[in-house]
Structure 1
Amino acid sequence: MKKLLNVYQSANSIDVALLITRVGVAALMLVHGWPKLEMLFSDGPVQFPAVLGLSATTSLALAVFSEVLCSLLILVGLGTRLATIPLIVTMVVAVFIFHAADPFAKQELGLLYLMPYTVLLLTGSGRYSLDYLLLQKVFKPTYVRTLSIQ
């Protein structure tokens, strides 16, 4: 019971929570973005709203970029903080521009996606990611700490 009420978390539990968040939100967004990718490469006309003065095809391409490519980057934890920015912009546009006049039930999904993307922007990908592995190789310690007993 004490562990459930403890407000201090170990670094490992935070890294596991970030992994679960990253993989979960990325997988869900990939499922959401895959039909858009198929629509973009289909021969039929693009059935997508033109937003912010962009054409329907350009709006769709930007949505596919964020929802598919950026989700794949988040899934593996590569450039996570950068990859969340297009997704945050996409969710803000979806909620506050495209669904602005709609009831809250239509805005809710975009807001629910917006929260973990904001958390990942602030925290990064955590230890279980390609970002972590690459940073370990780039920023190797230049000295070795030794224990001296005198």
Structure 2
Amino acid sequence: MKNSYITNLNLRGVDLGLLIFRIGISALMLTHGVPKLIKFFGPEELTFGDPLGFGPEFTFTFAVLAEFVCAVFIIFGFLTRFAAIPLVITMAVAALIVHMPDGFGRQELPLLYFFGFLCIVFTGGGKYSLDFLISKRKK
């Protein structure tokens, strides 16, 4: 019996896995980013936490950019590693500061996003990304 599924590294499979992971985790993040984007442009007065002392406007703007703009960039694989960094920061703050008093039940989701986007920081977008197409054209 061939153990190719255990020992053989299939790069096409790795790149396809990265594509599925990238799109999946970022699409799920958009379910948090889109409501913030709507609120950002909406008529209501801004009320948002300020866990790091930068001011609620800056904190909310950073969250919108991370959870919407960066998530869209990652879906397309554009500036993938750089786009994942604000999401790592946002999710670390959410898990370790904002939801710390609430217990692990409220920390779990931001921690899952944190580790997922941290993996993307290290792996990049893979072969099926705009980053790959752009780097291929430059060569």
Q: TM-score w.r.t. structure 1 length?
A: 0.87
Deviation at 1:8, TM superposition (A): 2.8
State the distance in 1 between where 2:4 and 2:23 align.
24
Equivalent residue, structure 2, for 1:68 = 68
State the distance in 1 between where 2:25 and 2:100 align.
23
Aligned-pair identity in percent equals: 40
Equivalent residue, structure 2, for 1:8 = 8
DSSP-derived class of the 1:101 partner: helix
Larger radius of gyration: 1
State the distance in 2 between where 1:67 and 1:34 align.
8
State the distance in 1 between where 2:122 and 2:50 align.
30
State the distance in 2 between where 1:2 and 1:96 align.
45
Deviation at 1:111, TM superposition (A): 0.6
State the distance in 1 between where 2:19 and 2:3 align.
21
**Residues 112 and 12 from structure 1, CA distance in 2 versus in 1: closer, same or farther, beyond 3 angstroms?**
same
DSSP-derived class of the 1:47 partner: coil
State the distance in 2 between where 1:100 and 1:4 align.
43
Equivalent residue, structure 1, for 2:111 = 111
1:78 equivalent to 2:78? Answer yes
1:18 equivalent to 2:14? Answer no
> Which amino acid is the alignment partner of residue 137 of structure 1?
R
User: Deviating runs (4+, > 4 A) in structure 1?
Assistant: 1-5
Q: TM-score w.r.t. structure 2 length?
A: 0.94
State the distance in 1 between where 2:2 and 2:113 align.
32
Q: Which runs of 5+ in 1 are unaligned?
A: 140-150
DSSP-derived class of the 1:33 partner: helix
Q: How many residues align?
A: 139
DSSP-derived class of the 1:29 partner: helix
Contact kept in structure 2, 1:40 and 1:57, CA below 8 Å:
no
Write out aligned runs for 1:37-48 (5 A).
Answer: 37-48=37-48
Equivalent residue, structure 2, for 1:146 = none
> Which amino acid is the alignment partner of residue 39 of structure 1?
K
Write out aligned runs for 1:83-94 (5 A).
Answer: 83-94=83-94
State the distance in 2 between where 1:125 and 1:89 align.
19
Instruction: Select the structure that is richer in helix.
Output: 2
State the distance in 1 between where 2:98 and 2:77 align.
29
